[in-house]
Structures are given as structure tokens and as C-alpha cells.
Structure 1
Amino acid sequence: MRFRAGTTGLLVVVLAALAGCGTQASAGPEDAARKASARSSPLTSSATANARPSSAELQGRWWTWAASEPEKTNPVADQDGSACGLNQPQDVWFLAGTFGGQVERACKVPAGRPIAFPLVNRFGDRSDCAAFMSNVRGTVRLDGRAIEPETYQGDLITVQSAQGNAVTGEEERFTATGCGLWVQLPSLAPGKHSLKIRGQSDDFSTGVDYALSVAASSE
């Protein structure tokens, strides 16, 4: 994914989406309280697990999730899947891409949880999204079967970021235009699944090979 123009550090670079971000942040004494706050209202929704969120709601909630952790524990910077369960909401399971480049991740997903992710995405103003989407492309394969992504050209989104996060670097609530290629999947059958995600816009590319383990309903 790509980040907003005007940010510092890795944020000046392409925000890879399925996603990406990156920047500095060291946890302070208030870190535990900050994380608890990040898990609350910004990631919750009045929608039920069976309801599909709108593209604007989905993007705003995903970016809030991506902006809830510093780089060391950020799901976009994750190299092996160890951060995939952090700050997940209760009605959907988010997956992330990278800040650029390709990684392999193993991730355990609860039973009955829909899955949502971008192939490649960004936020900014309308002109940022227009330029980004003019040359965007990507592919998704689930257990070897091609999945057609949805194209979100530009929605007004609301994002709540945490202090020291890898996306904006600071705690703030803001509105922006969000865009990208996205997939929303219903809950997967219990067992192991292979998910391969690739996304690109101009010279930025991101990719993740996910080994997903979906729990049985009794677990």
C-alpha cells in the first residue's frame, strides 16, 4: 500500500498495501494503555459477522488496524505471520501486505470469521488515488483458484491511528480518500489454506504467500 504524502521516514516511500507502511516508534510506558485503546471503538462495528461492510467502512477500519502498532509489531512489516493476530476486530479478520517486496506468513484464523484484505492500496487526496489507480493491478489465488478483486477508486474514509505507529507515526484521527484493489472472503472451511496475494502500482509491488490455518468451530 502507499501512505499519505507529507509523512516522514518509510512513509515517504510507497505504502504497500495488502499492505504496507513503515516508520519509527519505540514503545513508552503508556504503550499497554495505548494498545488497549486501539483495540476498542476504532476497530469495532455495528455490522454483524454476516453483513458486508461498505468499501468506505472496510478501508477506514483496515487502515485503523494497520496504524495500531509500531513497525516492530506492525502486521504490514511482519516477516513470518507472528503479528497477524494483533488487534483483530471481532467480526472480520484482516490480512496485510508489505511495505514493498514479498514475504511468507503463517497465520491462524478463528472459525467462522470472514477475511478481508487489500492487494495494494493507499490513502491521500482524490488526486493521489486517481494517479495510484491509473496503473494498478494484482492477483489473488486461494488454494490455487483465482479470486477476482474489487476495485475501490476512491472513498472518503476515517482513520484512527495510535502514537508511534508505522503508518502515520503519531496518534491522530483524520479523514482521507482511500483506494485500492480489495478482496472480502466469507469464512473459510476449517483446515489449512494457501493464499497468494500480489499487487502493484507503477514501480511499487507487494506480495504475500499466506499459509492459513482455520480453526474448527469447537476450538
Structure 2
Amino acid sequence: MFFMQDHHGFSPSHHAPGHRYRSWDGRDDCQYRDHHDGRGPKFHHDKVEIGHVSGRATADWWEWVLSYPEAENPQLDTTGELADLGDFGRTFFVAGTFSGDVERSFSVDYGQTLVIPLINVVSFATEPDDTAASLREDAAEFIDAVEDLTLIIDGKVYSDEKLFDFRTKSTVFDAIVPEGGVLPAGTYDPVVSDGYWIKVKGLSPGENTIEFGGSLTDDEGNTFEVNITDNVTVVADRHWSDWS
């Protein structure tokens, strides 16, 4: 079964009961760390660096999104009011949308790395014979149909030719969904994700605009499209200088 990206957010102080949030370096705490492992593409424009997002980080992002009830979910946020739920210190998880257009406004600290889902899908077990391998195949079939990707940062347009290098398959993970969540409450295991992700470093202090998304048409002719505009204020007097 599939569950497409949409809208919502989270913060370390809003854990779902009994859930765990892993840091990217494997520690069981809430301080996400942004260590690029040397794999995958990255490129620069002025001071902005666009980089690869690890499979572990995309799993963490989905655990984060699925941990919130609908009323507090950043994926469903239409203004940016819940965006700070994605603030993990050095790393800031940016919410997507389950489909359609949305515009949000929020602030981040200078030096934070933004993790952005251009377009993705999550696939989770609903039948006894579902396996991580079969779920990966289903998710890959969906993402294989992506026709175009969009990333525009402060007027700079990044081409499809570059963005199609940023596909990431998640590690296998489990997700705990609370009552009132975007799925029926319970623990889902296994879960996998596939899609296109980028991380952004080096936004200038002050006002920035990031537009991102993508589209695809499935075998039945149904179109799935994501178009997001984030008006991001980078606050210079709050900063993370140790990116590594």
C-alpha cells in the first residue's frame, strides 16, 4: 500500500508516545546530525550547496511525519505555522504535501541544513505476505513514473538533468502512528520509501524562497503532482556554524 507525501511537521518536544527518534549518526537522541557520507551527487551555486540525502535520513523523515495526528501534522499545514516541528538543531526537516499546491512561510537558523522531499512515496505492509523486498518493488514502480522535478532557490532554477541524480531509497524502518493520525493507529513494520530528495546548505541571512516539487502519471493515467513554495527567513543571530 502507498501513502504519498503531503503536509505537516514535528519537534523533539512533540514525540508520539513510546516512539523513538534517531539521530543520523545512529545515536538514540533528538539531535539530528548532518554528516554527508560522500555518496551521491552534490553541487554548488554561489554559497548554496545542494546535496544527497541518505536513506537513513529519509526513513527518519517519514517516521517523523507519520508520528503526528492530522490536527498537528506539518504535512497538512497550509501556512508554515507547524514548520518548526521539523527543527532538529543542525538539521531542519521541511514538510512536503500529500499532493497539490501549498505555500508556507517560516524561519530557520543560519547554518542549518534543510532536508527537502521533492516527490516521494512510502510503502508499508498491509498483507501477511508483504516483505521489504516486495514493498521496495511497489515503491520503485511508482517513482519510476516521475516525469519532472522542480527546484528553484531564490530564482536559480536547477535542471531536471541534475535533479534526477538525487533519488534515494530509504533504509527499512518501522513507523508508529498515533490515534487520529494520517493512517489507522498502530505500528507498521516493515516500511520503505523511495523518491527524490535534496538537502540545502548555505542560504543567506534574510528572506529566501524555495520552490520544489514534481509530477508523475501512473499506469491508469492518474496524475500526482506536488508544487510547494516556502518563504524561508534565515535568522542570522541564531546559527549553527558546525555543519561538517
Match for 1:111: what amino acid? Answer: Y
The reply on whether 1:131 has 2:141 as its aligned counterpart is: yes
Secondary structure of 1:59's aligned partner? helix
Normalization by structure 1: what TM-score?
0.76
Q: 1:121 to 1:111 in 2, by over 3 A?
A: same
Deviation at 1:96, TM superposition (A): 1.6
Indicate the larger mover: 55-64 or 129-138: 129-138
Deviation at 1:155, TM superposition (A): 3.5
Deviation at 1:165, TM superposition (A): 5.7
Q: 1:181 to 1:87 in 2, by over 3 A?
A: closer
The reply on whether 1:195 has 2:195 as its aligned counterpart is: no
User: Which has a greater percent of strand?
Assistant: 2
Q: 2:197: which partner in 1?
A: 182
Deviation at 1:87, TM superposition (A): 4.9
Secondary structure of 2:172's aligned partner? strand
Instruction: State the alpha-carbon separation in 2 of the partners of residues 139 and 157 from structure 1.
Output: 27
The reply on whether 1:142 has 2:153 as its aligned counterpart is: yes
Q: 1:216: which partner in 2?
A: 236
Match for 1:95: what amino acid? Answer: V
Instruction: State the alpha-carbon separation in 2 of the partners of residues 130 and 180 from structure 1.
Output: 8
Normalization by structure 2: what TM-score?
0.69
Instruction: State the alpha-carbon separation in 1 of the partners of residues 7 and 109 from structure 2.
Output: 24
Instruction: State the alpha-carbon separation in 2 of the partners of residues 179 and 122 from structure 1.
Output: 6
Instruction: State the alpha-carbon separation in 2 of the partners of residues 41 and 74 from structure 1.
Output: 17
Q: 2:21: which partner in 1?
A: 42
Instruction: State the alpha-carbon separation in 1 of the partners of residues 206 and 234 from structure 2.
Output: 5
Secondary structure of 1:102's aligned partner? strand
Query: What per-residue deviation string (whole Å, max 9, x for no partner) do you get for residues 82-124 of structure 1?
Result: 0111153223111122121101100111221100111110122
Q: 1:216 to 1:63 in 2, by over 3 A?
A: same
Instruction: State the alpha-carbon separation in 1 of the partners of residues 207 and 25 from structure 2.
Output: 30
Q: 1:130 to 1:185 in 2, by over 3 A?
A: same
Query: What per-residue deviation string (whole Å, max 9, x for no partner) do you get for residues 147-205 of structure 1?
Result: 34343263433143341364433242533331111111114221110001121121111
Number of equivalenced pairs: 194
Q: 1:20 to 1:157 in 2, by over 3 A?
A: farther
Unmatched segments (≥5 aa) in structure 2: 27-31, 38-52, 124-134, 218-222, 240-244
The reply on whether 1:204 has 2:224 as its aligned counterpart is: yes
Instruction: State the alpha-carbon separation in 2 of the partners of residues 38 and 212 from structure 1.
Output: 31
Query: What per-residue deviation string (whole Å, max 9, x for no partner) do you get for residues 38-81 of structure 1?
Result: 79741433377451266211111110111121112211111100
